[in-house]
Amino acid sequence: MIEVEQMLKDKNISEESGGAWIVHMQKLGVKSGTAIIRDPLELALLERARKYSFDKMIYVVASDNSVHFGQLIKILEALDFKDLASKLQHVKFSETSRMVTALGKVYKPQGILDAYEEAMKALTGSDSNKLALVGELDKAKEALATSALLIQELSTRLVTAHAFDTSTTASFKLGSGPDLQYWLTRLHPLLKNIDSAAEPSDEDYELLAEEDHANHLRILAQYPKVVKATYSSLEPADIVTYLASVTEQLAECLAEDDETEEADGENEGITPGLAALYEATSTVLENGMNLLGIVPVAASFSPEREDTPVIG
């Protein structure tokens, strides 16, 4: 604190008032505004920079603090810490949420999950059939409820108000958490007994060149670019949207193949070409879900292929 006070005095950009240091931002080239230097987190910034020598410090704080962090960066630059200022990043998010309307003003995280679990129990029709494929409700409901909640939150842009509607998100509609779990679970029986040593035939390649399968391959190939873009934007909604496009096209592929419409564990009709396609799809879905913090309900399956490098 003493060090910061001295630097502010030396630069003649602050004045003391009520036990705090006030910086008039006009002196730093900002049109208006006043910054108050008294937050322990801000005062500890220099100490953290020296102790950890970090490459980047990310503040995940509500969007109404944008002015505050803009002022902090300007002050650091004025104190000749331009390099440190360039390492700070403010990741904004909206504080507006509809959870209060649905659950009341006093609620806990477990109450939110309970609401989703109850919504999963109430599923009917085709959704209940999909639920049966995923697993016994008592065992899978918590994982499905968590998936539904995470996808709802992560599909929302950082500056957008957060919705809370279990009637749509706790369902198997396209792009929902339970829907991602369903399609990954459906793939696993198809891959259970494949011959990983089998080489794709010319007919396999011809099948993969057909419109639906070729489109699916193009979507799968976009995964690295989507992840890289998300790493830069810090918007997980892009991965959520991408995974929805993967499952949507997967549904088209499975519907086209009469021999693989029912994922009942018998995959005599799965050719080496289709096996490779579905294995790649399973890998992309599972990796994407892991990036979002979603634990797959289905047991992980990674058949060893001759063209897959093995370490050890």
Of all residues in the chain, what percent carry a pLDDT higher than 90? 29
312 located within any domain: no
Q: What is the DSSP letter of 294?
A: P
| Contact yes or no for 162/96 (Cβ under 8 A) | yes
Q: Domain end: 59, 93, 127, which one?
A: 93
Q: Does 137 lie in the same domain as 155?
A: yes
Round to whole Å and give the CA distance between 18 and 230.
Answer: 44
Q: What is the DSSP letter of 162?
A: B
* Length reported for the chain: 312
| Contact yes or no for 256/282 (Cβ under 8 A) | no
Q: What is the DSSP letter of 266?
A: -
Q: What is the pLDDT of residue 201?
A: 87
Backbone region of residue 33 per phi and psi (left: phi > 0; alpha: psi in -120 to 50; beta: other values): left
Q: What is the pLDDT of residue 300?
A: 43
pTM given for the model: 0.76
Number of domains in the chain: 2
**Residues 280-305: pLDDT tens digits?**
999 999 999 999 999 998 754 444 44
R_g (Cα) of the chain, nearest Å: 26
Q: What is the pLDDT of residue 100?
A: 65
150 located within any domain: yes
pLDDT band at 66 (very low <50, low <70, confident <90, very high): confident
Phi and psi for 281 in degrees, rounded to 5?
Answer: -65, -45
Q: Which of 170, 62, 39 is nearest to 117 (CA)?
A: 170
Sign of the CA dihedral with 20 first, then 24, 30, and 33 last: positive
Q: Does 111 lie in the same domain as 38?
A: no
Q: What is the pLDDT of residue 138?
A: 67
**Residues 185-211: pLDDT tens digits?**
999 888 887 777 788 888 888 989 999
Residue type, 9: K
CATH of the domain at 115: 1.10.730.10
135 located within any domain: yes
Q: Is 120 exposed, middle or buried (0-12, 13-18, 19+ CB in 10 A)?
A: buried
Q: Does 114 lie in the same domain as 155?
A: yes
Q: Which of 216, 224, 296 is nearest to 249 (CA)?
A: 216
300 located within any domain: no
Round to whole Å and give the CA distance between 295 and 149.
Answer: 13
Arithmetic mean of pLDDT over the chain = 80
Q: Does 250 lie in the same domain as 108?
A: yes
Q: Does 144 lie in the same domain as 76?
A: no
Domain span holding position 78: 2-93
**Residues 130-147: pLDDT tens digits?**
887 786 656 677 888 889
Instruction: Provide the CB-side half-sphere exposure for 27 (13 A, CA).
Output: 15
Q: Does 277 lie in the same domain as 187?
A: yes
44 located within any domain: yes
Q: Does 118 lie in the same domain as 89?
A: no
Q: Does 119 lie in the same domain as 260?
A: yes
Q: Domain end: 64, 93, 122, which one?
A: 93
Q: What is the pLDDT of residue 312?
A: 34
Q: Does 214 lie in the same domain as 87?
A: no
**Residues 87-135: pLDDT tens digits?**
999 888 877 766 666 666 666 777 778 877 888 777 766 777 788 778 6
Q: Does 228 lie in the same domain as 125?
A: yes
Round to whole Å and give the CA distance between 253 and 261.
Answer: 9
